Amino acid sequence: MKKICIACGRTFEATRNAKCCQECRNDGKRICAHCGHEIIGEYKHSYCKECNNILQEANRKKREAAKKRTKTKTEQMRTQGKQTLDEKITAAQAAGISYGKYSAMRRGLLRI
């Protein structure tokens, strides 16, 4: 498959997802996977500094949103149907069953 090198602009025969020609890869030119600019530095980073900051911020927002969703779910489960032990016992007696069967029914383990 023919592609255009994003570093030098020449056409080359691409294997898999190659974005640079073999000459540019051998020269050590590293290209940002997000924006396509050349990366300057001695470490093997995949993204330039600006794109890395943008992607880190996006990932941080996703993590915070997921954390907030799980937090609200657990709070809902805690506050939903909150009864004291005495209230549970009286409700079980009113239903004519033992407390153990009543709590198993509430958790969905027992069906009558």
pTM of the model: 0.46
| DSSP assignment string, 18-72 | --S-HHHHHHT-EE-TTT-PEE-SSS--SS-HHHHHHHHHHHHHHHHHHHHHHHH
Pair 39, 73 in one domain:
yes
Pair 32, 72 in one domain:
yes
Per-block average pLDDT, block size 10, for the chain (112 residues)?
Answer: 85 84 79 82 81 94 89 70 85 93 84 66
Domain of 51 in residue numbering reads as 2-79
- pLDDT at res. 79: 66
- pLDDT at res. 7: 77
Pair 53, 93 in one domain:
no
